[in-house]
Amino acid sequence: MNTNDRQDVVSFYHAVYGASEGYRNRIAWTGNYTSTAAGAEGTVSAAFVTDVERRVNFFRAMSGVRADIRVNSGATVNIQPGDAFQPDPATTKAAAAQRSALMIIRTYPSSAGLSHSPTSANTTAWTPAAWNANKNGNLSLGFFGPGAVDAYLKEDVMGTSSWNLDVGHRRWILFQWSSDFATGDTPGSFNSTANTVRPPSNSLYVVQKTGELDFTRDPVFAAYPGAGFFPASLNSPYWSLSYPSADFSAATVSMTNASSSPVTATVVSRRTGYGDNSIVWQVPAAAAVKAVGPDTRWNVTVSNIQGAGVPSSYSYSVTLIDPNKLQQTPVISGPSALFPAGGNYSLTGVTGADRMEVGFFLKRNSAWTEGAEDAPAPQVIDRTSGTYPLRASNPGYVKSGAKAFRLTFPSRYDPVINGVPEQILELDREILVGSGGQLNFSFRRGLMTAASKLVAEYSSDSGSTWIALADPYSGLGGTGDSVFQSASLALPANSEPIRIRFRYYLADPQSALYSHEDYPSQATGVFIDDISTTASHWLERTALASGAGLSSFRFDSTTAGATLAVGQEWFLRSRAVLGGKAFSYGPSKKVGLSGPLQLSGPVEPPVTGAAYGFVTDPAAESYRFEVTRLGSSDWKEGAEGSPLPQIIPGNATTYALYSNLSGYRSSGALSFRLALSSATDEEDSFTVDRNILPAAASALEFWMRRGAMSPTNRLHAEVSTDGGITWTSIWSLPGVTKPDKKGVKQSLSLAAYADKSIRVRFVIRKAAGGTTLKWNAKTSGVWLDEIAVTSSSTALSSKESTVSGASAAVILNSATAGHVLQAGSSLRLRLRSVSGASLGNWGPALIVSPSATAPSLPVTFDAWSALEYPGHALGFEGDLDRDGMADGFEYAFSLNPILAKAETDSLSLSTGKLMISRDLPVQRADIRYGAEWSDDLSTWSTAGVEIRIEGGKISASVAKAEGNRYLRWKIQGL
């Protein structure tokens, strides 16, 4: 592993350091805290020992010394002639260390067990073996396993014999000649009934026997933090440099930052006797940080080192890094628009990656709600302790359905982290937030002290970093909320997806708290339900492609894991995997799918009409061409008498749809009212009598205020895409038994209905088995006002025409539009294929606006054929009128392809030139005009031919020949 290679260090960190995380679940300690008899110390699992061995060798490798230490190899204890107490020489170091760990915790709360020369008088569970391990080991109270190794190296926490300015623990672990260590551990415990804590303990046997010292390698300078790139989270305020037999008594330390400006380095220790001789200095706060944004470099020089064969100075640099961030970003390149058949893409790799991955994400417009129910299965990631149900059914603590999410502290103390573990619920969705997007949820606080906090956070880097959306919600003590509270938090608009999580934490570690362990039958913590977002979409990952060295891939229905279809929008996202860790995705490659039925042609056609080509559907027997005249979106339904509301009322007979109740209207004199006036009423509604065409940014907006309503009566906003035959609810709100104090404005995204003709209605509906409150003619029901759809159009008229399945163009004119084309009007054009009785989906819409000044020019051969000669099967190489001129030729020169008429060229002979010419009323943009000559009517050439187009004429000339020479036009379509 090369510490001067950032990618190598990052990969090593995740593959080796990361592999030992989760060690608490692998310790499998067999001992007990109640006995001092032989065997009470127990044993730990082989997997746990491997965790410790891996962690020790990780740090040694990072500091540049040999990283092949064995742990718990079966080696026997180190007994010196002068030892006051000597265990059986056959005792293994592992057994001695394990007994030492038991002695440390059994002696707690006294610190006598941490002595390197403990006595039986002031310790519990003392044995000669425990004494031997203490004499020869690093000792910790409050840490165990790999966590203790971290503490020994960092030397900056209590529990490793306080602040250790000599960094003795670190020096023994980094001792260059060592080959064999042993670990003894207890995992700690917390008894909530007795309120007693047993911290974890560790005894790491580090002092070597003479035969275990390995001098086969040359000595090196061992620095901590190590030279090169180094994870900032493992940094220490006490930096050190070691070298075997070096004399640092007169050495000096100088440091500079990345700009070469000097910084203070205060030497705090030159003491010998711990592993290799070392010098230790305290660095300034800026260099002692444990988190960095950009990489941060520090330059170190240690001078005036003495000793035989020892270099007199050593200079190196330490660059603190965040190993969860890469400096290379994978980028996908390729087309942004595709046919459903797919296409090829490439991506830039990341140096040193185990493999590259490409995620295929389909943009979903559908609304979603996470409600903790059994079905559908919640799309969430459970990052809690797992000792209580995340999806709870506590009576009164469920907003809707049968369950709500719950976050609570599992206990008052976790011995592994020496504190209270935070609890996290993460939404397993990639969310695209539009303008005005919000996170909506309901929550109810149970038993929860003021220091207990709930915060909603978002991440824009796949979960590497998190940012609070708002101030946290604090607990209310032993009372909690009497009902669920509603929250709506603004989300940051972003073209890249974000992730969202809820985090429950203790802000003050000294504060009291309510835990599930203490109150298993009480509603501790906070309950969250009905999580949703507005003005947003989400990305569904349908497949993941992966490969070492992956640099290109194909995007199609097979690789995407889903059928590609016209109108879909896909996000292709690449990421690197280093050391087994999948890093954040790079920027998304957005791909829109088009294909058959995509219209092309002028967006400002002449008022006389125009032709539009399209990509044909091979399965189509015919097509339906729709022309819709669009109206303004500047409308608002407000129930007033002028202008008259465009509303279709429902079936209410006992109350008026139009209400003048004071306080129950947003503006004007009237508002709309919906209610269920009797126990037998099931629903009532009114429909906005407009054919509405939303855009991607459109929203249904309205003002509303609830009067007295049964909670089982819900107000729905519904959308129909088939003229009102079927309806889909896009939002609903339950009734309240006490009227709302004021009206509120609602905004519902209609992005899912972009470019579809819809109708909108409002319905009040009783749930199955629901009830209705006693009718109050004045205040029962719900009131609505100021209904509008933003950024939309209305369909004023629409006409469909049948187009032949053999056609590749359609005609927009007064006949297909159903009205005279008017300059400045707005028209929506779209096609659908027909196969037998089956109608295909509408293709992408094209919005056009006729112009009185636009020239009447067909734009393609197919368009010219369809517009000028509908019903005639013209072909570019065909000759329908059999006049000897191909249809494509007649198109190029604006001739009549269905009228056989000789149209000869003008021929002229000038000095040395043969020239032909003819009229050219229109120079077609999709035609290449040329000519070719021959002397034998067998072989033809374009060499030396000159074409001139000017003044409505075209001419072709070539040098004359001594004998016969023939010249003819060569017309090619582009």
Residue 11 lies in a domain: yes
DSSP string, 754-810: TTS-EEEEEEEEEPTT---PPP-TTTBSEEEEEEEETT-EEEEEEEEEEEETT-SEE
Residue 855's pLDDT is 66
Domain with residue 435: its CATH number is 2.60.120.200
Instruction: Please tell me the distance from the alpha carbon of residue 576 to that of residue 359, in angstroms, as a whole number.
Output: 11
User: Given pLDDT bands bounded at 50, 70 and 90, which one contains residue 857?
Assistant: low
User: In the structure encoding, which two tokens stand for residue 418, read together?
Assistant: 């020496």
Residue 853's pLDDT is 82
Domain with residue 761: its CATH number is 2.60.120.260
Residue where a domain stops, chosen among 814, 848, 882: 848
Query: How does strand 201-205 pair with strand 222-224?
Result: unpaired
Residue 827's pLDDT is 93
User: In the structure encoding, which two tokens stand for residue 888, read together?
Assistant: 């494509």
Residue 843 lies in a domain: yes
Q: Name the strand (E) or helix (H) holding 8.
A: helix 6-12
Q: Do 689 and 821 share a domain, yes or no?
A: no
Residue 859's pLDDT is 59
Q: Do 809 and 751 share a domain, yes or no?
A: no
Domain with residue 950: its CATH number is 2.60.40
227 CB-contact burial (10 Å; exposed 0-12 / middle 13-18 / buried 19+): buried
pLDDT for residue 161 is more than 50: no
Instruction: Please tell me the distance from the alpha carbon of residue 760 to that of residue 757, in angstroms, as a whole number.
Output: 10
Give pLDDT tens digits for 310-368: 999 999 999 999 999 999 999 999 887 677 888 899 999 999 999 999 999 999 988 89
Residue 541's pLDDT is 96
Contacts of 751 (CB under 8 A, 6+ apart): 365, 434, 537, 694, 696, 697, 698
Q: Do 518 and 574 share a domain, yes or no?
A: no
pTM above 0.75, yes or no: no
pLDDT for residue 40 is more than 90: yes
Q: Distance of CA 609 to CAs 188, 601, 606, 863, Å? A: 84, 11, 5, 11
Q: Distance of CA 53 to CAs 79, 181, 244, 292, 925, Å? A: 23, 8, 23, 28, 75
Q: Do 453 and 584 share a domain, yes or no?
A: no
Residue 878 lies in a domain: no
Across the chain, mean pLDDT equals 92
Residue 645's pLDDT is 93
Q: Distance of CA 175 to CAs 57, 66, 848, Å? A: 12, 9, 79
The residue with tokens 């330059």 is: 299
Residue 538's pLDDT is 96
Residue 871 lies in a domain: no
Q: Do 553 and 514 share a domain, yes or no?
A: no
Give pLDDT tens digits for 252-270: 999 999 999 999 999 999 9
Instruction: Please tell me the distance from the alpha carbon of residue 243 to that of residue 175, in angstroms, as a whole number.
Output: 9
Residue ranges making up the domain that contains 376: 367-538
User: Given pLDDT bands bounded at 50, 70 and 90, which one contains residue 158?
Assistant: low
Instruction: Please tell me the distance from the alpha carbon of residue 924 to that of residue 906, in angstroms, as a whole number.
Output: 21
pLDDT for residue 163 is more than 60: no
Give pLDDT tens digits for 226-249: 999 999 999 999 999 999 999 999
Q: Do 198 and 310 share a domain, yes or no?
A: yes
Q: Do 604 and 696 share a domain, yes or no?
A: no
Residue 160's pLDDT is 43
The residue with tokens 């570019």 is: 876
Give pLDDT tens digits for 74-91: 999 999 999 999 999 999
Residue 383 lies in a domain: yes
> What 3-state DSSP class applies to 205?
strand
User: In the structure encoding, which two tokens stand for residue 194, read together?
Assistant: 């007795």
pLDDT for residue 120 is more than 60: yes
Residue where a domain stops, chosen among 734, 766, 795: 795
Instruction: Please tell me the distance from the alpha carbon of residue 127 to that of residue 120, in angstroms, as a whole number.
Output: 8
As for how many domains the chain has, the answer is 6
Calculate mean pLDDT across residues 565-571: 89
Q: Which of 647, 658, 626, 644 is nearest to 759 (CA)?
A: 647
Dihedral through CA 711, CA 712, CA 717, CA 723, nearest 10? -160
pLDDT for residue 671 is more than 90: yes
Instruction: Please tell me the distance from the alpha carbon of residue 212 to that of residue 441, in angstroms, as a whole number.
Output: 62
The packing angle between helices 46-62 and 145-154, to 10°, is 20
Give pLDDT tens digits for 891-948: 988 888 888 887 788 898 877 889 999 988 778 878 889 999 999 898 999 888 888 8
Please report, rounded to a whole number, the percentage of residues in the chain having pLDDT higher than 90: 74
The residue with tokens 């040359």 is: 218
Instruction: Please tell me the distance from the alpha carbon of residue 903 to that of residue 421, in angstroms, as a whole number.
Output: 92
Residue 882 lies in a domain: no
Q: How many CB atoms are closer than 10 A to CB 607? A: 19
User: In the structure encoding, which two tokens stand for residue 744, read together?
Assistant: 């509120």
Instruction: Please tell me the distance from the alpha carbon of residue 766 to that of residue 711, in angstroms, as a whole number.
Output: 9
> What 3-state DSSP class applies to 131?
helix
Q: Do 572 and 531 share a domain, yes or no?
A: no
Residue 162's pLDDT is 44
Q: Do 427 and 497 share a domain, yes or no?
A: yes
Q: How many CB atoms are closer than 10 A to CB 13? A: 24
Q: Name the strand (E) or helix (H) holding 55.
A: helix 46-62
User: Given pLDDT bands bounded at 50, 70 and 90, which one contains residue 973?
Assistant: confident
Residue 818's φ and ψ, nearest 5 degrees, are 85, 10
The packing angle between helices 128-135 and 93-107, to 10°, is 100
Q: Which of 700, 716, 701 is nearest to 666 (CA)?
A: 701
User: Given pLDDT bands bounded at 50, 70 and 90, which one contains residue 159?
Assistant: very low
Q: Do 617 and 690 share a domain, yes or no?
A: no
Residue 211 lies in a domain: yes
User: In the structure encoding, which two tokens stand for residue 223, read together?
Assistant: 């620095």
Q: Which of 69, 76, 78 is nearest to 50 (CA)?
A: 69
Instruction: Please tell me the distance from the alpha carbon of residue 729 to that of residue 719, in angstroms, as a whole number.
Output: 6
Q: Do 356 and 314 share a domain, yes or no?
A: no
Among 188-202, 691-705, 723-737, 851-865, where is mean pLDDT lowest? 851-865
> What 3-state DSSP class applies to 827?
strand
Residue 630 lies in a domain: no
Q: How many CB atoms are closer than 10 A to CB 313? A: 11
Q: Do 357 and 225 share a domain, yes or no?
A: no
Instruction: Please tell me the distance from the alpha carbon of residue 782 to that of residue 733, in angstroms, as a whole number.
Output: 11
Instruction: Please tell me the distance from the alpha carbon of residue 141 to that of residue 579, in angstroms, as a whole number.
Output: 31
Instruction: Please tell me the distance from the alpha carbon of residue 972 to that of residue 925, in angstroms, as a whole number.
Output: 11
Instruction: Please tell me the distance from the alpha carbon of residue 19 to that of residue 145, in angstroms, as a whole number.
Output: 13
User: In the structure encoding, which two tokens stand for residue 174, read together?
Assistant: 């980094």
Instruction: Please tell me the distance from the alpha carbon of residue 44 to that of residue 146, in angstroms, as a whole number.
Output: 13
Calculate mean pLDDT across residues 464-478: 96
Among 125-129, 161-165, 871-875, where is mean pLDDT lowest? 161-165
CA angle 595, 596, 601 (to 5 degrees): 90
